[in-house]
Amino acid sequence: MNTPSPLTVDVRPILRAGGEPFAEIMTAVASLVPGQALRLLATFKPIPLFAVMAGRGFDHTERPIGGGEWEVLFTPAAAAAAKPAATAAAPTATLDTRGLEPPEPMVRVLAALESMAPGSTLEAYTAREPVFLYRALAERGIAIGSEALGEAGYRHIIQVPGRTGEAA
């Protein structure tokens, strides 16, 4: 069986224009075929993305490519096929923060996650792309799947990780 070529996503133009490429990256990840890697080109070493992608079952290798820019190759981990994606679980709670001003949506989502049982899933809605929430979740190693809803904002599916040492 042949391994498919990596899908290349160059987010450098988005970053140079002051944009946030997270949604485009997650769209690319969702389009990968089983076993396919993602090659990311960025203007900085995307450390917060490493935890997000690890939560989705990807290992990574990174290398500087000059001028402060980086190439990161995300490859499916050996156990990735057996690991469910955060977007696959049915939501156990829903939170709509579209009427709130930043940083209140992030604060409420993080508070909701803290009160939820390990393994449960939060469906959250935001009016804007929650760049700082993405970073906060990545720092915690929590996976998030997001989709743009046009004028209606964004829908996010967030899996609460299991806690080490707890019985299932």
Which CATH superfamily, name and number, covers 86-159? TusA-like domain (3.30.110.40)
- pLDDT class for 119, splitting at 50, 70, 90? confident
Residue 64 clears pLDDT 90, i.e. is over it: yes
Q: How far is CA 161 from CA 16, 50, 122, 125, in A?
A: 33, 16, 11, 20
CATH architecture for the domain at 7-82: 2-Layer Sandwich (3.30)
Q: What is the pLDDT of residue 12?
A: 95
d(CA 21, CA 15): 7
d(CA 74, CA 54) in angstroms, rounded, equals: 9
Would you say the CATH fold of 86-159 matches that of 7-82? yes
- Kindly tell me if the per-residue pLDDT of 50 is higher than 50: yes
Domain ranges of the chain: 7-82, 86-159
What is the distance between the alpha carbons of residues 42 and 50, in angstroms, rounded to a whole number?
13
